[in-house]
Amino acid sequence: MTKVIFFIIILFNLNVFNSSAGTLIVTPAESKNKYEKAYFAGGCFWCMEESFDKVKGVIKSISGYSGGHVKNPTYKQVIYKDTGHVEAIAVYYNPKLTSYEELLKVFWVNIDPFDANGQFCDKGKSYRSVAFYQNTKQRKLIESSISSIEKKFNKKKIVTLVWEF
């Protein structure tokens, strides 16, 4: 009997883990709220997820690849071939609890905006930092934050890419 219970507990835990990996699960109560998405790349996507998931108002962040020319690339394609993709995250957030501006602040303190070859120990094209924008307002916020950071660092050039999503 204890083996059956243990087996059920293991299956439940595996199912919970698998169902939440890479998928946004929204309960019926949450679905009444309108969530927004922001997209960032800053080296290892799992490290970026952890930083954003701690922010009040962030519902969930999901790892993936973005910015390239290969549809639905695999990890091996992104890392070993030139797909143009970077490791990125989609951040689902409640705009009543946090803002795109706040998410940008989290992004900037979790990357090295002066490193064009990747982030920290992750080097290569797929680990470059990118701030993605979905509209003119977001693009302007990114550009303004870049100017502000460059001023703080004596006009040292930010090499983080700014791409349309």
**Catalytic amino acids?**
44
Long-range contacts of range 48-56, CB-CB < 8 Å, 24 or more positions apart?
A: 48/89, 48/110, 49/89, 51/106, 51/110, 52/89, 52/91, 52/103, 52/106, 55/93, 55/98, 55/102, 55/103, 55/106, 56/97, 56/98
d(CA 161, CA 165): 12
